[in-house]
Structure 1
Amino acid sequence: MPLSSLSLQLYSVRHALDEDIPGTIARVAGIGFRQVESSYKIHSKGRELRDAIRDNGLTSPTMTASLVDVDVDPVFPIAVDLGAHTVIETFVPDQFWGSVDAVQHIADQLNAAAAKAADFGLRVAYHNHWWELEHRYDGKTALEALVDRLDPAVLLEVDAYWVAVGGQDPVDLVGRLSDRVHFLHLKDGPVNHDNSQQRPAGQGDLPIEAIIAAAPQLEVGVIEFDDYAGDVFDAVAQSFAYLDAQVPA
């Protein structure tokens, strides 16, 4: 399946955003992006990011936000104002995955958030790191144990790089969960915990095209760098050139 659309996770350029939100978004648009994945954390501080996204002709179909053990009520009106269709929980730390009961609690929180989101015409998804793949319960990864407990309406944004770091084959895992995988984080590198060694898509060890092909429900592919040893804008541009070629005109 081809990549239907491509975003940049703005966490990749967070340091530039700290200095200049409008200039950073203009630079992202100048690379060729037509959409971004932005965060509630920045939007909650004011309208500057939302205005910069609109002023540069961009959209933000997905917005990230904490949805577990927090008050979610302020999140969804901002997502609607932004024009997002899905709010993604991106970080439930390792220490909260220590038992089946803990996994159930996370599922309950996401299910409750999804019910509230639906009132706003929004969906909820979950984004993994490596620890959800390292924890195992009843022969399954904690991520798959979570999916077993989620309402069918809750989707996944699979970070294929962290799946590999967590010791799983990302093509196989995305294939097993393909009905839920509507979003993918697409980064590359030598598959280790040294984020500074992450590489532009197509220049590392991940089979990017096979991962995309394993997700027939895929709506958005998202470029992300947790860190980068060089000029992150150059790395983002290289990833965009590689992946945008797979998006039909």
Structure 2
Amino acid sequence: MKQANIAAQLYTLRDYLKTPEDIESTLRRVKAIGYDAVQVSGMGPIDPEKLKQLADEIGLTICATHISYDRLTKDLPAVIREHQLWNCKYVGLGAMPPEYRSDEAGYVRLASEFSAIGAELAKHGLQFVYHNHKFEYTKFGERTGMDVLLEESASPDFGFELDMYWVQAGGANPVEWVNKVKGRMQVIHLKDMEIVEDQQVFAEVGRGNLNWSAIIEACRSTGVEWYVVEQDQCRRDPFESLTISYNYLKQLI
């Protein structure tokens, strides 16, 4: 992991990304924390060319995105053009639509459909990545939903963007899963899990109970390129949360 490869997932700051003016101000604050890269998600309307201009002017790489299911299935040529404009290789699906989640057949169907989408993206130098939550660790017989996605999808066209908090919340081992997707994951999501009043809560990296030294070592050994800090909910100012996580990760470089 290099300092330049620590990125901020903009979904963390979604309340500060409503207008183009908000977006510019927020990107400047992210850069001031020390981040050199961002993942685009949770952002209000902005012209793709304007976003590219702002990122270049401020000095931020757009390393990955989360794109809606509808756009990936119905508007793929435009998605491809935007990512090429941004010099952004990694095209992410942030969550599986609910209609796929109820049985193993749904996971098989998503693995097949997005392997085909991933193959089309690959023709243009792009990589599809799937971001998990905990529901993918539901068991269907002997396999979890994540097992199904891994085994039934086409490698390397169907890539992964594991979220360490959600792997842990699903009852799985984060380090084990980093190793399971070796060769198929170049982007990872980092957030910690803390126990507060007997409840699991989102926490800044290093403030919870995940084994970060082991996780980062597994990422290094499996070729992870981008280390993306995300916090779905913050119990303090989200810019402060991103700062805490960034400063902790710098110690692990």
Match of residue 101 from structure 1: 105
> CA contact under 8 A between 1:184 and 1:222: conserved in structure 2?
yes
Alignment CA distance shift 1:103-1:124 (3 Å):
same
CA distance, structure 1, for counterparts of residue 23 and residue 179 of structure 2: 37
CA distance, structure 2, for counterparts of residue 144 and residue 180 of structure 1: 14
Identity rate, percent: 27
Match of residue 35 from structure 2: 33
Match of residue 175 from structure 2: 171
Tell me whether 1:149 sits opposite 2:152 in the alignment: yes
**Which secondary structure does the structure 2 equivalent of 1:63 belong to?**
strand
Query: Cα offset for 1:205?
Result: 1.1
Query: Cα offset for 1:45?
Result: 4.1
Matches within 5 A, 1:90-129: 90-129=94-133
Number of residue equivalences: 243
For structure 2, list consecutive stretches of 5 or more residues without a partner in the other structure: none
**Which secondary structure does the structure 2 equivalent of 1:198 belong to?**
strand
> What one-letter code is carried by the residue in structure 2 that aligns with 1:147?
L
**Which secondary structure does the structure 2 equivalent of 1:12 belong to?**
helix
CA distance, structure 1, for counterparts of residue 46 and residue 59 of structure 2: 21
Alignment CA distance shift 1:102-1:224 (3 Å):
same
Tell me whether 1:223 sits opposite 2:226 in the alignment: no
Task: Identify, as 1 or 2, the structure richer in helix.
Answer: 2
Matches within 5 A, 1:25-104: 25-39=27-41, 42=43, 45-47=46-48, 48-67=50-69, 70-71=73-74, 72-104=76-108
Query: Cα offset for 1:67?
Result: 4.3
Match of residue 6 from structure 1: 6
RMSD: 2.3
**Which secondary structure does the structure 1 equivalent of 2:214 belong to?**
helix
TM-score, structure 1 length as denominator?
Answer: 0.89
TM-score, structure 2 length as denominator?
Answer: 0.88
What are the Cα deviations for residues 125-147 of structure 1, in whole angstroms up to 9, with x where unaligned?
Answer: 111011001x2134222112111
What are the Cα deviations for residues 52-81 of structure 1, in whole angstroms up to 9, with x where unaligned?
Answer: 222111111212213477312321110111
Match of residue 194 from structure 2: 190
